[in-house]
Structure 1
Amino acid sequence: MKWSMRIVMTLTISLVIAVCLSLLPKMDSSIGINSPYHWPSNRIGQVTDNNLPDLLVQVPLQMRIRKVELSSTRMSLDLSLPKNADSTSVYRDLYTIAQTMLMKTKNVNQVWVRVIDYSGVSDNASTQLVLAMVAERESGKDMDKSASELSLIQLEQELQNRFRITYTSKWQQRYPL
């Protein structure tokens, strides 16, 4: 009798464990939707240190992000300017960053972007600032068109009319008029 009881108990416990394990993925996905660690792909959300990587992965950029800092209402980004980047890709990335951060977030009111030339340097002391932009939420309203729909001239005008952009001599050397 003892052996039959042990077998029944073992089967019962195994069955309970199997049912719990089969429900675990469903519980994980239902919790993950409203989790602060998950960024909604098409909705406006609050950016935190936990979901910032999820948001940045969704932003289609050609330049590489080197550094990101997030305060309560301001995001600062450092972008690395590749050697072969043209001015159109730089303007497209700046427009896309401003559009995403100002229109897909609730709490980011300012976006500071620095485009830095890291080429040919072994330490950060000899990096050169190429361009800087400060984008504010009020100026970024109604950015409905995507960056790919705009020409180089339209991108440049949109960015200069909406935001504060500072060009350095390095920009003028690299992209003369």
Structure 2
Amino acid sequence: MKWSMRIVMTLGLSIIMVVCLSLLPKMDRSTGLGSPYNWSSNRAGELTDNNMVDLLVQVPLQLRIRKVELSNSRMSLDLSLPKNADSAAVYRDLYTIAQTMITKTKNVNQIWVRVIDYSGVTDSTSTQLVLAMVAQRENGKDMEKNANELSLIQLEQQLQNRFRITYTSKWQQRYPL
């Protein structure tokens, strides 16, 4: 009798373990859909220091990101302006950053972007600010068009009408009207 009871208990525990292990992948998938770390869906998630890189690597930019900071509901980005970049690439990246942060995040209400020229940096000279943009969530809610679908003039007008953009003399030297 003792052996038969041990066999029944071992069999019962084995069945319970098999059932529990078979349910684990389903539980993992169901909790992963609402996770703030999942940027593959079209739903907005909460941006944190832990998942910021996961979102930023999906943003198609031509300029290189030099620095990113997230504090409260504000995200600050520094972009490096290469020597051969044209103004359309700058405007396209600004539009894409604003559109992505507004549509894919819930908690970012302001996006501060600085475009900085690092090309002439030596020990005695510092970096030069070329352009700065402050984008508010409420001003960019209806940015449906993709940046690649807009012309240079449309991109420039969309950004200037929606957000605050400050041009420096370095911008005007580099991209004269």
| Coarse TM-score class (shorter-chain normalised) | 0.7 to 0.9
Determine what percentage of the aligned residue pairs are the same residue: 82
Structure 1 residue 125: deviation in Å?
A: 5.7
Provide the TM-score with structure 2 as the length reference: 0.81
Structure 1 residue 62: deviation in Å?
A: 0.3
Partner SS state of residue 67, structure 2 = strand
Q: Does 1:43 align with 2:12?
A: no
- Structure 2: segments with no counterpart, 5+ residues: 1-19
User: Where does residue 62 of structure 2 map in the other structure?
Assistant: 62
Report the Cα distance in structure 2 between the residues aligned to 1:138 and 1:105, rounded to whole angstroms: 13
Give yes or no for contact 2:46–2:106 (8 Å, CA) kept in 1. Answer: yes
Correspondence list, 1:68-107, <5 A: 68-107=68-107
Runs of 4+ in 1 over 6 A off after TM superposition: 20-27
Report the Cα distance in structure 1 between the residues aligned to 2:82 and 2:21, rounded to whole angstroms: 48
Distance 1:120 1:110, change over 3 A: same
Distance 1:83 1:45, change over 3 A: same
User: Where does residue 160 of structure 1 map in the other structure?
Assistant: 160
User: Where does residue 116 of structure 1 map in the other structure?
Assistant: 116
Structure 1 residue 122: deviation in Å?
A: 4.2
Report the Cα distance in structure 2 between the residues aligned to 1:51 and 1:123, rounded to whole angstroms: 34
Distance 1:109 1:141, change over 3 A: same
Structure 1 residue 51: deviation in Å?
A: 1.2
Report the Cα distance in structure 1 between the residues aligned to 2:87 and 2:154, rounded to whole angstroms: 12
Give the count of matched residue pairs.
169
Provide the TM-score with structure 1 as the length reference: 0.81
Report the Cα distance in structure 1 between the residues aligned to 2:123 and 2:51, rounded to whole angstroms: 30
Q: Does 1:145 align with 2:145?
A: yes
- Structure 1: segments with no counterpart, 5+ residues: 1-19
Give yes or no for contact 1:75–1:110 (8 Å, CA) kept in 2. Answer: yes
Task: Map Cα deviations across residues 34-63 of structure 1 (whole Å, 9 max, x no partner).
Answer: 434333442111111111111111111000
Give yes or no for contact 2:36–2:45 (8 Å, CA) kept in 1. Answer: no
Give yes or no for contact 1:36–1:50 (8 Å, CA) kept in 2. Answer: no
